Amino acid sequence: MRANGGNSVISGETSEPINARRTETLLFPALFRHNNLIAAMSTAENIPQKKLVNILNYLHFSESRLYVLLTHPDYPERTLIRVRHEPCSTDKLVCHWDQDCGDPDLERYNIPYLIVSYDQAVIIAPVRVLDARGSMMTLQLPEYGRLINE
């Protein structure tokens, strides 16, 4: 990387400044540093799938965002990515990457959990990716999520 008039330039791709090519602001994803929440799942209250679906639909209609936890097989860090979701009535949840974080290459990552901020608690649900294309993914919801009130 080199500087050109105070603007960063990606060497080898183009000599055009990054801020000239991209006008929207991208936020870097947050590193997940709350491994205690994952550890607390074993003793947390169960949330049945039907109740989880009702909570997700409530959050959708109140325009709240959810998070997915990304893990990379080669790196120990976990990353939280904010997603928008569609209403759901079954065990399948369709999510779209929030515009602020770009489009991660899903083939390079695992998505072990959906993380939901709800009231004064956090719901963590182990999920499985059924389909992922571009900025959209379909997740299979578990029979039970976990409600953590710590």
pLDDT of amino acid 99 = 65
12, pLDDT greater than 80? no
CATH code of domain 24-148: 2.30.110
pLDDT confidence bin for 26, thresholds 50/70/90: very low
Residue boundaries of the structural domains of the chain: 24-148
Range name among 6-10, 27-31, 91-95, 110-114 with the lowest pLDDT average:
6-10
15, pLDDT greater than 70? no
The answer to whether 115 and 56 have CB atoms below 8 angstroms apart is: no
The tens digit of pLDDT for each residue in 34-49 reads 566 666 677 788 999 9
Strands 2-4 and 136-140: unpaired
- pTM for the full model? 0.72
